């Protein structure tokens, strides 16, 4: 007979039990360390041209990843571009969460006009093709890392709000909430102490995925030429070089490393999200006895 | 019964196979690619005034001359020309063999009537301003009432054009030939000038060019046939099919054999050379400059000429040229096109320390200048930004589209902007349009010194005197540096694998020698 037991101890212990999630976390941690520590340690200059090495120089001991079309070191630009891409991804996810969670809670718990206006607003935002909307807003506000973070963050709240709204609808009529309400607890206290802890688990899981999606969105914007401002680099702006047929076919060192970094980062963030889901959702996660 | 069925089946199968057999009267078709559509087939009514419309009209209608890329001229509708009235007029002796596609001979009266009709104030032609150099017209090219129009037929085949200022035939043709076409005015008799542009004639035009109209899918495809009676010879093919396709598809289509040629002159970016050669396309290096790069300056915001000269000295034009033109270009200190009749002794060299001294002299206060560029030049702007920073000049780069760049400079939004142009053979090809009260894009406080010299150069008919005045103007430009000439670039041409005798470089002057093109056999 197969015996199952509910996972014991804290979510962190349960997270550690997932090898894939831990591997993803380690790789992402290494990537963050490399991106933020290596440029100052190695004295890398992402915006200085080495005219002696030449334009589009292939990889060499002086330039491990070669140079770009302006003679700039591609390793330096890859690492510094990673700072920008990761900051944009994580900041946009944070803004989306900070907006989406309270709005979803309010819509689900208060219902009535709150529910109507918040969810209709979410419908309107979601009904536009996201890339077109982001393109228009970035074009209007001007291409800069700050504006991209704001636009991606402000437009990304709807998914999280829907997630929280759905779970809040389930939780708000549970007996323990009715009991707390009957005892005279205030609305804010109930939302903070009783509802939020019971609806937040899926949000933690979705944050890494949203960060990954924001990194991809920034890459798309940079590829389309409305990303960050020249001469700043991001992984997306580095891949933009591949729009040229000659670079795409003859200079893979210029676009392959940033493309691999994006794939690796998004893969790691997805793995961490899966690990968080398993660690936080005690109902579905069991260990063999 | 079975035999009969088999026989019928064989016949049915044989019919489509028979259609695959080579036709006895196979048509020789030249497939021609164009990256943007023409906007009209009426040459004087193009809303954009673009080269795409010009290169199409060049085939349907005849012009006075054929302009080579190096500035030399060949006869076309005019077999010869000479100066008259002390340099105020030019006589064009028309080719007596020229005829419209309906067989009517082209006469000087057709030319005079074309100009009279298009300059008629009631005729709403958008391209009328091309005639504003002629006597009896205003700045917009409209005929002035009570004044004699500077276009008359002296006899059947002699056209006389009279100008407002002394103009040599060469100056006129280099400047305006691509915008002067002869129209079939014998088909327009009795038409109200106000309604002439509405005629169905412009949907299926009758011109006197080397090709005749066959059919058009507006904005997409245009089919033209060889004019067997063209006075310079019959083109060596039967049909020319012009297809509009995305710029990025032109070279791949040429390699794949879907195109025989693409405008303009099979123009090829240096980066694509390897791809073209790997695809079996022969690449020719242009010998005549076809691009001129400048850094536009806002003289109001950068008011000190010492600071403007410092920017000039701080830039490494050689590196910038190498970056953009990949060796196909030469840095320059002037806007005079190399290889033309006009020269300058001014030279360029980078001097960062000299730039720093000039910045101090000019009282540069460390302010950050905005440098506008189009997206495809952001790398060039980043290089400039580094070079200026080495001299202590800080800039921010604004990436905008071309229209926003020029309007932004005109409105004073940006301090600097990178622009490129197709150079001309005339000494004033660049400066005349840039130093006029109507187009003071550099925001020069006092245009008088420039406009005075420009007028004198235009009026000088003696080449020695003109060269001396050109030197004076260039010296003034070097002292004041209202804009920075960067380099003249040459282009690469993807040679047609199937069509011979193409004059690739001259295509950038919006004329193509299609009457000399021959489609290779097979």
Domain assignment present for residue B367? The answer is yes
Output the six-digit token pair for B148: 């004699």
Q: Mean pLDDT in chain B?
A: 91
Kindly state whether residues B310 and B198 are assigned to the same domain.
no
Other C-beta atoms closer than 10 Å to the C-beta of B124 total 14
Question: What pLDDT is attached to residue B25?
Answer: 54
* Residue in A71, A231, A247 closest to B385 by CB: A231
Query: What tens digit of pLDDT does each residue of B20-45 get?
Result: 444 445 789 999 999 989 989 999 99
Gap between the Cα atoms of B106 and B111, Å rounded: 8
Gap between the Cα atoms of A170 and A198, Å rounded: 10
Kindly state whether residues B370 and B456 are assigned to the same domain.
yes
Q: Do B275 and A49 touch (CB under 8 A)?
A: no
**Length in residues, chain A:** 289
Share of chain A above pLDDT 70, in %: 93
User: Which chain B residues are closer than 8 Å to A76 by Cβ?
Assistant: none
* Beta-carbon-side half-sphere exposure of residue A63 (alpha carbons within 13 Å): 27
Kindly state whether residues B372 and B507 are assigned to the same domain.
no
Query: What tens digit of pLDDT does each residue of B219-269 get?
Result: 899 999 999 999 999 999 999 999 999 888 999 999 999 999 998 999 888
Question: What pLDDT is attached to residue B203?
Answer: 94
CATH number at residue B201: 3.40.190.10
Output the six-digit token pair for B196: 């002439």
Q: Do A231 and B319 touch (CB under 8 A)?
A: no
Gap between the Cα atoms of B239 and B42, Å rounded: 21
Kindly state whether residues B455 and B501 are assigned to the same domain.
no
Domain assignment present for residue B182? The answer is yes
Output the six-digit token pair for B228: 């067997």
Least trusted range by pLDDT, from A212-226, A257-271, B48-62, B159-173:
A212-226
Question: What pLDDT is attached to residue B308?
Answer: 97
Kindly state whether residues B484 and B506 are assigned to the same domain.
no
Other C-beta atoms closer than 10 Å to the C-beta of A254 total 25
Kindly state whether residues B454 and B507 are assigned to the same domain.
no
Kindly state whether residues B447 and B311 are assigned to the same domain.
yes
Q: In the predicted model, what is the mean pLDDT of residues B189-213?
A: 94
B71/B222: higher pLDDT: B222
CATH number at residue B322: 3.10.105.10
Q: CA angle B397-A255-B418, nearest 5°?
A: 25
Other C-beta atoms closer than 10 Å to the C-beta of B132 total 15
Q: Do B379 and A69 touch (CB under 8 A)?
A: yes
CA nearest to B380, candidates B265, B294, B451, B445 = B294
Write out A132-150 in H/E/C secondary structure.
HHHHHHHHHHCCCHHHHHH
User: Which chain B residues are closer than 8 Å to A143 by Cβ?
Assistant: 399
Q: Mean pLDDT in chain A?
A: 86
pLDDT band at B12 (very low <50, low <70, confident <90, very high): low
Gap between the Cα atoms of B364 and B354, Å rounded: 14
Kindly state whether residues B341 and B410 are assigned to the same domain.
yes
pLDDT band at A71 (very low <50, low <70, confident <90, very high): very high
Output the six-digit token pair for B264: 């303009």
Asked whether residue A2 carries a pLDDT value surpassing 50, the answer given is no
If residue B223 lies in a helix (H) or strand (E), which one and from where to where? strand B221-226
Domain assignment present for residue B264? The answer is no
Least trusted range by pLDDT, from A192-206, B12-26, B94-108, B323-337:
B12-26
Question: What pLDDT is attached to residue A127?
Answer: 87
Q: Do B399 and A245 touch (CB under 8 A)?
A: no
pLDDT band at A75 (very low <50, low <70, confident <90, very high): very high
Kindly state whether residues B473 and B503 are assigned to the same domain.
no
Q: Which residue has the tokens 């100052």?
A: A40
Count: domains in chain B: 2
Kindly state whether residues B170 and B315 are assigned to the same domain.
no
Asked whether residue A216 carries a pLDDT value surpassing 90, the answer given is no
**Length in residues, chain B:** 522
Query: What is the CA B220 to chain-centroid distance, rounded?
Result: 22
Asked whether residue A171 carries a pLDDT value surpassing 80, the answer given is yes
ipTM of this complex:
0.73
* Residue in A51, A229, A245 closest to B272 by CB: A245
* Beta-carbon-side half-sphere exposure of residue A128 (alpha carbons within 13 Å): 16
Let me know if B422 is exposed, middle or buried by CB neighbors in 10 A (0-12, 13-18, 19+). middle
Asked whether residue A191 carries a pLDDT value surpassing 70, the answer given is yes
Could you tell me which chain A residue has the CA closest to the CA of B320? A70
pLDDT band at A160 (very low <50, low <70, confident <90, very high): very high
Q: How far is CA A92 from CA A127, A152, A210, A231, in A?
A: 20, 6, 8, 22
User: Does A247 reach chain B within 8 Å, measured CB to CB?
Assistant: yes
User: Which chain B residues are closer than 8 Å to A244 by Cβ?
Assistant: 271
Question: What pLDDT is attached to residue B107?
Answer: 97
* Residue in A49, A229, A247 closest to B383 by CB: A49
Q: Which structural domain, as residue segments, surrounds residue B403?
A: 291-489
Domain assignment present for residue B139? The answer is yes
Q: Do A70 and B271 touch (CB under 8 A)?
A: no
Domain assignment present for residue B283? The answer is no
Could you tell me which chain A residue has the CA closest to the CA of B382? A231
* Residue in A48, A68, A230 closest to B397 by CB: A230
Kindly state whether residues B330 and B182 are assigned to the same domain.
no
Q: Do B322 and A244 touch (CB under 8 A)?
A: no
Kindly state whether residues B233 and B350 are assigned to the same domain.
no
Domain assignment present for residue B286? The answer is no
Domain assignment present for residue B304? The answer is yes
Domain assignment present for residue B254? The answer is no
Share of chain B above pLDDT 70, in %: 95
């Amino acid at each position: 007979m197969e015996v199952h037991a509910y996972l014991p101890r804290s979510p962190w212990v349960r997270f550690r039990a997932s090898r894939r999630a831990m591997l993803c976390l380690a790789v992402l941690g290494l990537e963050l360390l490399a991106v933020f520590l290596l440029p100052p340690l190695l004295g890398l200059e992402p915006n200085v041209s080495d005219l002696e090495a030449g334009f589009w120089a292939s990889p060499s001991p002086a330039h491990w990843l070669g140079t770009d079309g302006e003679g700039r070191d591609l390793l330096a630009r890859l690492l510094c571009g990673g700072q920008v891409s990761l900051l944009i991804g994580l900041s946009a996810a944070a803004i989306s969460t900070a907006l989406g969670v309270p709005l979803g809670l309010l819509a689900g718990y208060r219902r009535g006009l709150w529910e109507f206006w918040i969810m209709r607003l979410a419908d309107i935002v979601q009904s536009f093709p996201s890339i077109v909307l982001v393109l228009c807003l970035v074009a209007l506000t001007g291409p800069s890392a700050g504006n991209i973070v704001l636009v991606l963050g402000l437009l990304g709240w709807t998914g999280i709000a829907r997630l929280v709204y759905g779970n809040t609808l389930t939780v708000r009529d549970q007996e323990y909430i009715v009991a707390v309400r009957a005892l005279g607890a205030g609305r804010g206290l109930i939302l903070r102490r009783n509802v939020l802890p019971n609806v937040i688990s899926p949000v933690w899981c979705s944050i890494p995925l949203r960060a990954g999606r924001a990194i991809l969105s920034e890459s798309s914007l940079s590829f389309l030429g409305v990303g960050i401002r020249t001469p700043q680099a991001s992984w997306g702006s580095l891949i933009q070089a591949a729009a040229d047929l000659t670079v795409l076919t003859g200079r893979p060192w210029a676009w392959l490393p940033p493309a691999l970094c994006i794939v690796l980062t998004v893969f790691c963030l997805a793995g961490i999200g899966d690990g968080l889901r398993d660690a936080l959702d005690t109902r579905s996660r069991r260990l063999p006895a | 019964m079975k035999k009969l069925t088999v026989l019928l089946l064989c016949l049915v199968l044989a019919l489509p196979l028979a259609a695959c057999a080579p036709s006895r009267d196979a048509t020789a078709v030249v497939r021609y690619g164009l990256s943007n559509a023409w906007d009209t087939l009426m040459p004087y009514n193009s809303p954009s005034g673009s080269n795409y419309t010009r290169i199409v009209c060049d085939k349907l209608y005849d012009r006075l001359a054929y302009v080579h890329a190096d500035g030399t001229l060949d006869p076309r509708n005019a077999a010869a020309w000479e100066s008259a009235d002390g340099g105020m007029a030019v006589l064009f002796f028309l080719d007596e063999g020229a005829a419209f596609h309906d067989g009517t001979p082209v006469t000087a009266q057709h030319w005079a009537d074309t100009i009279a009709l298009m300059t008629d104030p009631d005729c709403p032609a958008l391209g009328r301003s091309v005639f504003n150099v002629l006597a009896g017209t205003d700045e917009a090219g409209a005929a002035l009432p009570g004044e004699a129009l500077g276009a008359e037929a002296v006899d059947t085949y002699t056209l006389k054009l009279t100008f407002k200022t002394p103009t040599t035939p060469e100056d006129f043709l280099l400047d305006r030939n691509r915008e002067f076409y002869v129209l079939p005015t014998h088909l327009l008799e009795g038409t109200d000038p106000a309604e002439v542009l509405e005629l169905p004639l412009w949907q299926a035009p009758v011109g006197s060019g080397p090709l005749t109209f066959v059919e058009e899918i507006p904005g997409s495809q245009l089919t033209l046939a060889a004019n067997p009676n063209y006075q310079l010879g019959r083109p060596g093919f039967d049909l020319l099919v012009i297809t509009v396709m995305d710029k990025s598809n032109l070279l791949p289509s040429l390699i794949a054999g879907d195109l025989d040629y693409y405008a303009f002159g099979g123009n090829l970016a240096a980066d694509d050379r390897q791809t073209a050669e790997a695809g079996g396309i022969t690449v020719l290096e242009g010998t005549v400059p076809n691009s001129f790069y400048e850094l536009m300056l806002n003289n109001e915001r950068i008011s000190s000429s010492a600071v403007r000269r410092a920017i000039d000295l701080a830039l490494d034009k050689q590196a910038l040229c190498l970056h953009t033109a990949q060796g196909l270009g030469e840095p320059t200190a002037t806007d005079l096109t190399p290889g033309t009749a006009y020269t300058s002794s001014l030279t360029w060299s980078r001097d960062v320390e000299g730039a720093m001294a000039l910045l101090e002299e000019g009282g540069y206060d460390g302010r950050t200048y905005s440098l506008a560029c189009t997206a495809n030049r952001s790398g060039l702007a980043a290089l400039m930004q580094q070079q200026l920073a080495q001299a202590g000049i800080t800039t921010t780069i604004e990436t905008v589209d071309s229209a926003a760049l020029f309007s932004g400079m005109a409105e004073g939004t940006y301090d600097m902007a990178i622009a490129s142009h197709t150079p001309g053979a005339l000494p004033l090809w660049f400066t005349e349009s840039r130093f006029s009260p109507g187009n003071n894009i550099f925001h020069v406080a006092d245009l008088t010194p420039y406009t005075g010299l420009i007028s004198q150069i235009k009026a000088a008919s003696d080449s020695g005197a003109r060269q001396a005045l050109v030197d004076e103007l260039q010296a003034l430009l070097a002292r004041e540096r209202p804009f920075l000439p960067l380099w003249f670039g040459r282009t690469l041409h993807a040679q047609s694998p199937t069509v011979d005798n193409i004059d690739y470089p001259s295509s950038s002057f919006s004329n193509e020698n299609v009457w000399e093109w021959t489609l290779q056999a097979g």
